[in-house]
Chains A and B, each alone.
Chain A
């Protein structure tokens, strides 16, 4: 799949052009968020501000439970922020929008639907299935699962299920893809393969990607920019830009260096 991706992407400049037109720009301004936990308010986000340009691949890195996922839910429009403003292409984010896709750590495929019907969900919900059903086959092919149309989720491996979840988000051709630790539960081999596939998907499809992860290596390998968050309540600790061109190599010394820098921001020395 990676090879096919490279073959299709002919020149880096062309990719950038596609991304500049298709991707979504969004802005998080002074956003704070509280939960009610047994009557007491719990602050999970503390005045977080950052902006992401069209076609960027940004990783949100922070310790487990720091509020990264909450930020994604706010951007997806699943809940409104307690304070502050979230805008996409200059418009306030109010409610969900098929232009902003979301992939969870669990594939959360609908067990009563086949792979094909799961991927078709977005088109079906929007009444586009009849006119655009070829997009389902396209998305299926994109994640390399052609031939598994009629399988049920319980018949899939973890990696395959997560690929279906990706295809389900991609069928709507989102301009922003929000990824909530999508590879977090996969075994390390599948995970490495899918990291490469994810980058290829992003490069080919031109969406803006926002990846939540607590894996430093993954963040520096995939993202063009890493935003480091503090422990709960999350606030931005640092931003690291990674100009290394794609496709990248895991063992690149530049990545090692970046990894060390990011770990320092997370106040860990990097050694176990």
Chain B
């Protein structure tokens, strides 16, 4: 590591002196980018040169991909500054881009190269690569099935939870009757309803949709109602003196004022909807990532499991990121809030 570090420092110094010699306006190469590129090349060399404990078809491909990543990074690091390709965002990613190949190599060495970890359970990177190449259609179908089940159910849950939350937060009568029910039933994990739901609903799919919606609705309802009922009463007073009617007070005062809390509820609801989605797919719906994981378990296909988990985290993390993007756009007026 130390030798690599000094090497990049040397390279940076060389680049800087070369730059100042050629012209004052030339920009130095992106040092951290070069370092990260070299780390990827080192990972590629390790993958390619070191013999695997047992043969894997995709070892050369993994090495090639690592080498391509390294080559591209170095290219960007050297030529990028002139072309304005090295943005602040990319620069901030530098340490991660260098750490990733290091972690990948450690994983590669303890599994494929040394066999230190018990093999079928700890799949090496190339075996996961193989799963993506050979089983992409099933993984793709699972992704599609999960999204198609999750999104409508999640939106249903948002609508129900938001509506209930506003009614409970706004009306004393609804609060009196609704809040105890919410407090009593809400903490039950939606998955606990699974056996009953599969019995009551005509299809497992409908049952799963209901459960995902339920899991989403609870946090959304709680936080929406708390948001609505904790609105500064001076806002209502001001709006009333300005001529606002009840409808205006709800739509233009209570709801916008409660939005920061509503989004916390949406975030929590999204998290619980993922949990219910996977369990519902494992136990009822014969499709989606949950089903895929269970199938992989049945065949002890651990590489497939890792491949699916990786895709799932990409999907779920992407959905949460999307939601935060929407929130940041809608709540641009806010300062210092929960960050994702």
A interface with B by C-beta (< 8 Å): 73, 76-78, 96-98, 100-102, 104, 106, 108, 110-113, 121-122, 124-126, 152-154, 168-169, 172
Contacts and interface: CB of A to CB of B under 8 A. Distances in A.
Nearest to B331: A112
18 contacts: A104-B234, A104-B238, A108-B238, A110-B256, A111-B333, A112-B257, A112-B331, A113-B333, A121-B242, A121-B244, A121-B252, A122-B243, A124-B248, A125-B244, A154-B335, A169-B241, A169-B242, A172-B243
A106 to B, nearest CB: 7
Nearest to A110: B235
A96 B232 CA distance: 18
Interface string B301-340: 0000000000000000000000000000001111100000
Among A76, A97, A111, A168, max chain B CB count under 10 A is at: A111
A112 B253 CA distance: 10
Given A78-B240, A125-B239, A125-B244, 4 more contacts: A73-B237, A125-B248, A126-B242, A168-B238
A96 B243 contact: yes
Nearest to B238: A108
A102 B236 CA distance: 12
B77 to A, nearest CB: 39
Given A125-B248, A125-B252, A154-B333, A108 B235 contact: yes
Given A110-B235, A111-B333, A154-B333, A122 B242 contact: yes
Contacts of B257: 110, 112
Interface of B is mostly: helix
Contacts of A122: 242-243
Contacts of A125: 239, 242-245, 248, 252
Contacts of A101: 241-242
A102 B241 CA distance: 7
B241 A78 contact: yes
Given A108-B232, A108-B235, A112-B259, A98 B243 contact: yes
B242 A98 contact: yes
Ranked 6 nearest A-B pairs via Cβ = A122-B242, A98-B243, A125-B244, A126-B243, A102-B241, A96-B240
A39 B149 CA distance: 53
Among A101, A106, A113, A121, max chain B CB count under 10 A is at: A121
A28 to B, nearest CB: 18
A111 B245 CA distance: 20
Contacts of B245: 125
Interface in B222-271: 232, 234-235, 237-245, 248, 252-253, 256-257, 259
Interface of B: 232, 234-235, 237-245, 248, 252-253, 256-257, 259, 331-335
Contacts of B334: 111-112
B261 to A, nearest CB: 13
Contacts of B239: 121, 125
Nearest to A178: B241
Contact of B237 (A78, A97, A110, A121): A78
Contacts of B241: 76-78, 96, 98, 100-102, 169
A102 B232 CA distance: 16
A113 B240 CA distance: 17
A69 to B, nearest CB: 11
Contacts of A76: 237, 241
B333 A102 contact: no
Contacts of A98: 241-243
Nearest to B334: A111
Given A104-B234, A112-B257, A125-B252, A168 B242 contact: yes
A30 B197 CA distance: 65
A24 to B, nearest CB: 14
B244 A108 contact: no
Nearest to A118: B238
B275 to A, nearest CB: 32
B242 A172 contact: yes
B263 to A, nearest CB: 12
B237 to A, nearest CB: 5
A138 to B, nearest CB: 16
B335 A108 contact: no
B260 to A, nearest CB: 9
A203 B253 CA distance: 32
Nearest to B253: A110
Contacts of B248: 124-125
Among B232, B235, B237, B241, max chain A CB count under 10 A is at: B241
Among B243, B248, B252, B333, max chain A CB count under 10 A is at: B243
Contacts of B332: 152
Contacts of B242: 98, 101, 121-122, 125-126, 168-169, 172
A125 B331 CA distance: 22
